[in-house]
């Protein structure tokens, strides 16, 4: 069979067979993952080194050891569903400070292709090939001494079958990178299937792309909670035909008790498309939380009284539970954005990363969004120019932002009644 060579970033891969998966459209996904991993590992390695130094200091003080030099912190990455090996090879060549990468696939042809490509790119010293079921491989790495610093899950469609093993085989504070491409299920075309796969009912609404992100985050958190672990999202994006989340996984049974206050059910009005969030658990602001101002800002509004929507007296559909806590860590996103802006020559898709992350950085931490055209469409009015609509909200003393997940989106902390008042004046 003819061999096709593909160059992406610093890697060159040979595709001997059409049967091994390669999608050029995912270059953005891989570029972004490299930038995220670079900045994550920089911080994580410093955290690990500080911990190791402390350990050595304590041992020296107690006379247990005479050396004062801690061992080098090791950073290991698992690409559990690797296909051609392209992503792992790029991680090996483009992400600094990595000790070892395992590129795994269940398909024998894919594994053969990974081996060829690893040799072709001369990264055998960093990339180990594995031929196993992703779940089985991760279960073999459950023991704390064997866990990975980062695990990348990039399956066809839904990632949920890999989550139980993934959340157990990641180090405390490690990074989980997860793609989901079954957008029809997540965006409300099949709410029952969404419940079966993700444990949440999806809704067909104007804000379905952010809902999809929040359903996936909820699903990862629920898997983590089973093992007294919990997640902290660093970045959550919806682009093209898929979503991708980057979350840190921590251990801590006490923190798991806060999960219900990070989840909400969603009442979706069939008449005016309005969504109202109802938290699953009580909300107790904690001054020691990382960002109390943000925490306060996403506090959902009160649940709807009775069955009917207060704005148009129509019925509600009930969806969720969704993750209603912040979906990005803005300081982290800023560091990734600056890294890409300072290294544009390294990222083929830097312009797009720049665009998406700049929008993410400006997003209000309010869950979900409106779209201005749908708002006016519902009452059969011509759409008010977006800028005019936004200024009306700002003039009333509330905040507005876009969401990176939809064109013409509008995030705001203003009550829905105010938006309908503005619509009425048009």
3-class SS shares of the chain: helix, strand, coil, % to 5: 40, 25, 35
Orientation of helix 108-120 relative to helix 86-94, angle to 10°: 30
Among 12, 97, 155, 297, which residue interacts with ligand SAM (rule: CB under 6 A)? 155
| Residues 6+ away with beta carbon under 8 Å from 244 | 29, 32, 33, 177, 178, 179, 180, 236, 237
User: Which positions from 8 through 67 interact with ligand SAM, judged by CB under 6 A?
Assistant: 21-22, 26, 30
Residue carrying structure tokens 């290294």: 343
8 A C-beta contact, residue 179 and residue 243: yes
Pick the closer one to ligand SAM by CB: 10 or 260.
10
Nearest approach, Cβ of 355 to ligand SAM (angstroms)?
A: 21
Is 135 exposed, middle or buried, given 0-12, 13-18 or 19+ CB atoms closer than 10 A? middle
What is the rounded distance in angstroms from the CA atom of residue 167 to the CA atom of residue 151?
Answer: 9
Number of H helices, E strands in the chain: 15, 15
Among 50, 72, 156, 415, which residue interacts with ligand SAM (rule: CB under 6 A)? 156
Is residue 154 involved in binding ligand SAM (CB under 6 A)?
A: yes
Nearest approach, Cβ of 342 to ligand SAM (angstroms)?
A: 25
Pick the closer one to ligand SAM by CB: 133 or 310.
133
Nearest approach, Cβ of 160 to ligand SAM (angstroms)?
A: 12
Among 34, 41, 48, 81, which residue interacts with ligand SAM (rule: CB under 6 A)? 81
Nearest approach, Cβ of 240 to ligand SAM (angstroms)?
A: 14
360 Ramachandran zone, left/alpha/beta (phi>0; psi -120 to 50): alpha
Helix or strand run (H / E) with residue 174: strand 170-180
Residue carrying structure tokens 């009917």: 308
8 A C-beta contact, residue 38 and residue 27: no
Is residue 244 involved in binding ligand SAM (CB under 6 A)?
A: no
Nearest approach, Cβ of 81 to ligand SAM (angstroms)?
A: 3
Is residue 203 involved in binding ligand SAM (CB under 6 A)?
A: no
Pick the closer one to ligand SAM by CB: 136 or 318.
136
Pick the closer one to ligand SAM by CB: 230 or 347.
347
Nearest approach, Cβ of 243 to ligand SAM (angstroms)?
A: 14
Pick the closer one to ligand SAM by CB: 87 or 244.
87
8 A C-beta contact, residue 146 and residue 168: no
Q: Mark residues 91-130: x for contact with ligand SAM by CB under 6 A, - for none.
A: -------------xxxx--x--------------------
Is residue 134 involved in binding ligand SAM (CB under 6 A)?
A: yes
Residues engaged in binding ligand SAM (CB under 6 A):
21-22, 26, 30, 81-84, 86-87, 104-107, 110, 133-134, 154-156
């Amino acid at each position: 069979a003819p061999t096709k060579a593909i160059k992406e970033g610093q890697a060159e891969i040979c595709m001997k067979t059409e049967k091994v998966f390669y999608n050029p459209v995912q270059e953005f996904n891989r570029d972004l993952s490299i930038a995220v991993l670079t900045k994550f590992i920089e911080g994580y390695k410093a955290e690990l080194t500080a911990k190791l130094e402390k350990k050595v200091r304590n041992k020296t003080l107690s006379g247990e050891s005479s050396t004062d030099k801690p061992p080098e912190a090791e950073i290991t990455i698992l690409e559990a569903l690797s296909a051609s090996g392209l992503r792992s090879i790029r991680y090996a060549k483009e992400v600094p400070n990595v000790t070892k990468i395992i590129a795994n696939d269940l398909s024998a042809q894919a594994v053969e292709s990974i081996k060829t490509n690893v040799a072709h790119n001369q990264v055998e010293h960093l990339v180990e090939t594995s031929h196993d079921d992703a779940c089985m491989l991760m279960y073999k790495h459950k023991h704390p001494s064997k866990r990975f610093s980062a695990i990348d899950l990039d399956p066809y469609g839904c990632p949920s079958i890999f989550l139980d093993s993934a959340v157990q085989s990641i180090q405390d504070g490690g990074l989980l990178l997860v793609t989901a491409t079954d957008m029809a299920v997540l965006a409300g075309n099949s709410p029952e299937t969404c419940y079966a796969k993700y444990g949440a009912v999806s809704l067909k609404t104007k804000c379905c792309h952010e809902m999809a992100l929040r359903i996936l985050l909820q699903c990862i958190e629920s898997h983590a909670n089973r093992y007294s672990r919990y997640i902290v999202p660093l970045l959550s994006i919806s682009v093209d035909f898929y979503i991708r989340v980057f979350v840190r996984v921590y251990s801590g049974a006490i923190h798991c008790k806060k999960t219900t206050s990070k989840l909400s059910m969603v009442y979706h009005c069939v008449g005016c498309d309005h969504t109202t969030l109802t938290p699953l658990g009580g909300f107790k602001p904690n001054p020691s939380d990382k960002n109390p101002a943000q925490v306060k800002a996403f506090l959902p509004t009160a649940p709807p009284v009775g069955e009917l929507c207060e704005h148009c007296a129509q019925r509600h559909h009930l969806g969720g539970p969704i993750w209603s806590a912040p979906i990005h860590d803005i300081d982290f996103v800023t560091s990734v954005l600056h890294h890409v802006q300072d290294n544009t020559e390294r990222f083929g898709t830097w312009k797009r990363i720049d665009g998406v992350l700049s929008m993410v950085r400006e997003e209000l931490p309010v869950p979900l969004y409106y779209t201005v055209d749908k708002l006016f469409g519902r009452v059969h009015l011509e759409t008010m120019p977006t800028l005019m609509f936004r200024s009306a909200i700002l003039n009333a003393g509330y905040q507005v932002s876009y969401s990176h997940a939809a064109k013409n989106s509008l995030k705001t902390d203003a009550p829905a009644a105010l938006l309908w008042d503005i619509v009425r004046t048009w």
